[in-house]
Each structure stands twice: as C-alpha cells, then as structure tokens.
Amino acid sequence: MKKIIYLALLYGAAILSASTPRATAANFTILLSPVDNKTIYEGDSKLIFYSTICDPDIIFSNFTLHIDTAEPFIAKIDQNNTLGYTGTCADLSGSFSVTGVRLGKTQVIVTTSINTVTSGNGDVIVLRERTVIDDVYRYGIIVLASILYIGFGCKVDIRSIVNYLKKPISPAIGIACQFLTMPLIGFGIGQLFTHTLDNFDVSLAFGLLLMSCSPGGGSSNVWANLLGGDMDLSVTMTTLSTFLSLAMMPLWIFALGRVYLDPSIVEIPYMYLARSILTIVIPLSVGIIIRKCSAKTADKFALYTKPFSGIFIIYALGFGLYVNWYMFDIISNKPEQVIPSAILLPLIGYIAGFGLAKLTRRTNSQAVTISLETGVQNAAIPIVVLQGSFPQPEGDVAAVMPIAVAIFYTVPIIIAWIIYTIYNKLNPEEDSEEEKVDADGEDNNRWDNMAYKSEVTDEKSIDTSKNQTVL
C-alpha cells in the first residue's frame, strides 16, 4: 500500500513539473538600460539596469546570471557579477556598475543558465577626458616652437630663401617627395598589411594614409638645425608644404581614401591648416625683422637655436610620451598592426628623400634637409582630421597611427644625430672653422664641409693665383 501511495505522489509531481513553463532561449530576453547613453569617461562609473522579457508563469530555480564585458581592459563590471535567482520572471531585475578603464568601445555580455545574451543595446563607450596637462603640453609646444622660429628667422638668409623661390629646384624635389612619393608609400604599406594580416583595422590604414599626405612638421626644422641641414631650404619647404596641403590632402583622400571609407565623411581642417601657416610665418617674420634691424642682436639670438632645439626635442618627446601614454595601451592590443607600419613609413621616407636628392645632384646639406622634410610630417593634422571625421571613441583610437609614427620617426634621426655629434667631436678643427665662417655670416655647414672641403680649397688657391697675377 505504501509503495502505491509513493508512486502516486511521484506521478503527481511529474505531471505538475511538466505543466510548469520553462524558460528557453527562444522566450527569454534580457534588456539593458539606458539604451542609448552608456558612455563613460576613463575612471568613472555608471549604473546600468537590467530586466527581462519572458513568460510570467516561468518559475526559476537555481537560476544563475553572469554579467561581464567583452573586453575588461576597456570597461569592467565592479561588483560580484555572478548572481543567483529563485522565483518568477518578474523578480529577475536589478542593476550593476560598469567602470571605464581606457579609451575604446566594448559590449556587455550576459550569460545565464539558459543562454548567452549579447544585447544589441549593450555597447559601452569609454572616452578620454581632456585634462589640464593636455592643455599645458599643447600650449607649451606652441610657445617653444614660436621662440624657435624667431631664432630661425634670425638665422636664415632671406636672399637665399628668395633664390630658392626664384629657382625652386630643391623645394620642388622635396615637395615631390612629400606629396607624390609619401602618399603612395603610406597607401602601399596600408594595403600590404590589410592583405597579409587578419582583421587589420581599416581606420589604422586610413590614419597611415592621412599621415603620409600631411605637410612637413615643425620638428623637421628643429632636426635640420641640429643635424647641420640647410635651414633656408628647410623653412622654405615647411611653409610651402603647409600651403600646398590645403589642396593635396583632399586630393589624396579623394583618390586613395575611398578604398577605406566614403571620402565625403572626412572633414579637412582648413582653419587648423591656416593657423599652422600663421604659427610658422609670424614668428619667422619677427626673426627676419630683428636681423634687418640689428644683425648683432640676430646673431646672438641665432647662437641659442641649437641648445634651444635640444630643449624642444626633450620637451616634445618626454612630456609628449607622458601625455599620450594611454596610446601605448591601444598599441599593446594590436602591436603587429601599428608598430611595423609606424616604423616603415618614416624610414622609407628618409631613404627616398635623401636618395632622390642625391640623384638630382643636391648638396649633402640639401639632401639631409629634403630627407627630414619627407620623413618628418605634421602628426597634429591627421589627428585633427580623424577626431573630426569619426564618432568617438573611433576617432581617438584611429589617431593612434599618427601618434605612433611621430614617436618612431625620431629613432633614425636620433641615431643620425649621435653619429653627427661624434664626428664633430672627433674633428674639432673643422668645427672651429665652421663657427668662424658662420660668425662672418656666410652659408656653411658640416655636411658640405665633409664632402666639398677639397673643392673649396682648390677654388681658393685659384683665386689667390689670379690676385697675384693682377698685382
């Protein structure tokens, strides 16, 4: 009799269990709110609410809910993110806190006992808020660059600049390297890695193209000064290339940028380019006026351009790395996509610029200048373009490529500067001769002394013999 009663109870329980609705992936949905505004800044937290849509008659027993993000290094869930429930569907709701870790975009993933839900409204965007340090760095660069350009204005020979403009063979070679060779190199590198690396980020390839068709940067003049380049040619090329970028950048974006995206969405920062021109021309003009009014004062000012150039480089590299340190986190997640491209673009640019200059019989100092103007490009312009053309955080993430190029293009130059400095130390006689000639106001530099010293000596001996004949 007891066995009959026991079997009857088991049969009733089985019928009751069969009649109770069960949650399945098909009739169970998790909703996250707010739907459209899950944007936070690095270090900040935001409360996100969740609720469910399912059959109200469903009864949960030992139901588990696990909440996480697809990329915890971008945003992370703060509290214990594994929760257990017992009850009806109406009881399954609550909230969790998400904290932004670094710049980027990720997605909230909810894993339950039933299924894994990657809700379409689960995107979390983490932005980087501009800080006082960013502004200090930016204004510091402007002030230092302005002082340097005043010094360059005191140092350059306006007659030489006018001659370069009248017979622009050397500037034309440099401009051809900047706006013909470099864009094709940048596009070629981008295409190479797009077809050889899996999931190569298109925005990085586009950022590389933008960097390759940007004008020469202000630091190219600084390095030309430190490496004994032709300062008259350097200043001429930087100014001309910035002017020409108003037309050449849109042209290349239209011609090659369409491979990566719709060119119509790209915003060219014409006002920023105009301001860049003014930041070069105005302080340079001040230096030229100082030389015209007082050559002695200009000579004293020009003496400090080399040590001040060193200060500028240390400030730009040291402080710049600190301010942009967050970019290394982005680079570390995709180093195979960023680092090789950032090294190859300026390196090939240096070689192409120097090679083409020597093929066209330019002097060593001119070749050094053309090489620097080709490989050192203004990273600020593509950054402004990317941040203005893409929604955030995609714009800031894409800007990692110009910043990486700006970091890596200094490595070959520093090596060249070390070699150049060692040579100067080992040849103090030539160094004293150079200082003497510079004090007399003549155009001279170490690179041309090394290559043409014997030629100059022969010319002087010929002149001497002519004078003796006349006497």
352-378: per-residue pLDDT in tens?
999 999 999 999 999 999 999 999 988
Q: Which fold has domain 132-435?
A: Na+/H+ antiporter like fold (1.20.1530)
Q: Does residue 467 carry a pLDDT above 60? A: no
Q: What is the pLDDT of residue 188?
A: 93
The three-class DSSP label of residue 127 is strand
Q: What is the pLDDT of residue 82?
A: 75
Whose CA is closest to 201, among 375, 356, 334?
Answer: 334
What's the pLDDT band for 178 if we cut at 50, 70, 90?
very high
Mean pLDDT value across residues 115-144: 78
Mean pLDDT value across residues 22-51: 72
Q: What is the pLDDT of residue 115?
A: 59
Residue 296 and residue 287: Cα distance in Å, rounded?
A: 12
Q: Does residue 269 carry a pLDDT above 60? A: yes
Mean pLDDT of the chain: 79
Mean pLDDT value across residues 64-81: 81
Q: What is the pLDDT of residues 309-327, one digit of tens each?
A: 888 888 988 898 888 888 8
Q: What is the pLDDT of residue 469?
A: 41
Q: What is the pLDDT of residue 30?
A: 75
| 134 vs 62 pLDDT, higher one | 134
| 442 vs 353 pLDDT, higher one | 353
Residue 340 and residue 326: Cα distance in Å, rounded?
A: 19
Mind giving me the DSSP string for 362-407? --HHHHHHHHHHHH-B-THHHHHHHHHHS-TTHHHHHTHHHHHHHH
| From 308-312, 392-396, 404-408, the region with the lowest mean pLDDT | 392-396
The three-class DSSP label of residue 74 is coil
Provide the angle, in degrees to the nearest 10, between the axes of the packed helices 364-375 and 335-359.
150
Q: What is the pTM of this model?
A: 0.77
Q: Does residue 4 carry a pLDDT above 80? A: no
| 32 vs 434 pLDDT, higher one | 32
Q: How many CB atoms lie within 10 A of CB 437?
A: 14
| 105 vs 90 pLDDT, higher one | 105
Mean pLDDT value across residues 333-357: 91
- Kindly state the DSSP code that residue 256 receives in the 8-state scheme: T
In Å, how far are 102, 157, 160, 257 from 164, measured between CA atoms?
Answer: 48, 11, 6, 33
| From 157-161, 365-369, 370-374, 407-411, the region with the lowest mean pLDDT | 157-161
Mean pLDDT value across residues 429-450: 44
> Which of 76-80, 204-208, 423-427, 440-444 tops mean pLDDT?
204-208
Q: What is the CATH number of domain 19-127?
A: 2.60.40.1080
> Which of 24-28, 102-106, 280-284, 455-459 tops mean pLDDT?
280-284
What's the pLDDT band for 455 if we cut at 50, 70, 90?
very low
Mean pLDDT value across residues 106-114: 78
What's the pLDDT band for 54 if we cut at 50, 70, 90?
confident
Q: What is the pLDDT of residue 429?
A: 59
Q: What is the pLDDT of residue 443?
A: 42
Q: Does residue 458 carry a pLDDT above 90? A: no
Mind giving me the DSSP string for 305-352? HHHHHHHHHHIIIIIHHHHTTHHHHHHHHSHHHHHHHHHHHHHHHHHH
What's the pLDDT band for 37 if we cut at 50, 70, 90?
low
| From 10-14, 144-148, 267-271, 408-412, the region with the lowest mean pLDDT | 10-14
Q: What is the pLDDT of residue 36?
A: 63
Q: Does residue 462 carry a pLDDT above 50? A: no
Pair of tokens at residue 37: 């505004």
| From 18-32, 70-84, 194-208, 254-268, the region with the lowest mean pLDDT | 18-32
Pair of tokens at residue 285: 């003009």
Domain residue ranges in the chain:
19-127, 132-435
Q: What is the pLDDT of residue 374?
A: 93
| 265 vs 81 pLDDT, higher one | 265
